[in-house]
Amino acid sequence: MPLSTSRRLALLTSASLALLAGCGSSSDPADGKSAPARVAVVASTNVYGDIVRDIGGDRVDVTSIISDPDQDPHSYEADTQNQLALSKAKVVVENGGGYDDFVDRMRKSGHNDSAEVINAVRVSGRTAPKGGELNEHVWYDFPTVAKVADRIAAALGKADPDGAAAFEKNAAAFKAKLTPLEAKEARIKKEHGGEGVAITEPVPLYMTEASGLIDRTPAAFSEAVEEGDDVSPRVLRESLALFSGRKVEALVYNEQTSGPQTEKAESAAKAAGIPVVPVTETLPKGKDYLGWMTGNVDALASALAK
């Protein structure tokens, strides 16, 4: 007996609903499970932010507070966007050692006590030398960066247990890429160990020390530049004499915080035919951490070879 119009419509509707239910949404994962929420991470600078992305991949959502090469972490002022990101973070990566104290201040004002905080200086185990000051620029110290990578993987694994194996694998791959950098430093040490260099700030010292080079810069010069203070005429003369007297083989120059006194040092080095190796504190635009550091070590080796 022929079906009535209403009966045919009912059957058609049921079939259509069954087909839609079988197909599901095109945006859903194939296994029917919802995509995992990304782990919210805040890094004090884009240096650590890039390392977190290397390890976390597409399972992390990273905010780097200092991401502009023209920003000075020492004088950073908090903004509401970064404050909000910190209040929601599951993992926070800071340098420590007084370099980025703004992170702890912002965390306290945002009342986020649940985030796991990775302090790179504490992880490094580095301390101030007797009678001296701690060099807080530990991202130029590759063994420290390897330790930080492991801590990042562990922290992300706690926040996202399903991704723990991937985080560990990515951290191992990242550390393997640090090995050639340490080998380059060892080669410089073998070929140029004991040679003198000058610096404008302590930023690259872990790299130059691992390369067996001796910093001949008067401490009062680099300390004053780092603190934004004036260099005394006597100290400036002593510093410039390093170049005119050819007592150093290279000037490693922090181009991110240049000023009249550091520019005099750069000019004196160039006038004496001494190579200048520019470095920065934060990641230059278009660079990743490993490529950036490879460029720094290669530039140092090339300068010394001249």
CATH architecture under which domain 39-179 falls? 3-Layer(aba) Sandwich (3.40)
Q: Which CATH superfamily is domain 193-305 in?
A: Nitrogenase molybdenum iron protein domain (3.40.50.1980)
DSSP designation for 229:
P
In this structure, is the dihedral angle defined by the CA atoms of residues 25, 31, 32 and 36, taken in order, positive or negative? negative
Q: Do domains 39-179 and 193-305 have the same CATH topology?
A: yes
> Is it the case that residue 256 has pLDDT exceeding 90?
no
pTM tops 0.85: yes
What pLDDT is recorded for position 32? Answer: 53
What pLDDT is recorded for position 15? Answer: 42
In this prediction, residue 35 has a pLDDT band, given cuts at 50, 70 and 90, of low
Average pLDDT over residues 102-115: 83
> Is it the case that residue 17 has pLDDT exceeding 50?
no
Percent of the chain with pLDDT over 90: 73
Phi and psi at 81, nearest 5°, equal -65, -45
For the chain, the domains span 39-179, 193-305
What pLDDT is recorded for position 291? Answer: 98
Rg over CA atoms, the chain: 26
Average pLDDT over residues 221-249: 94
Residue 261 CB neighbours (<10 A) = 19
What pLDDT is recorded for position 77? Answer: 75
What pLDDT is recorded for position 293? Answer: 98
> Is it the case that residue 193 has pLDDT exceeding 90?
yes
> Is it the case that residue 19 has pLDDT exceeding 50?
no
What pLDDT is recorded for position 131? Answer: 83
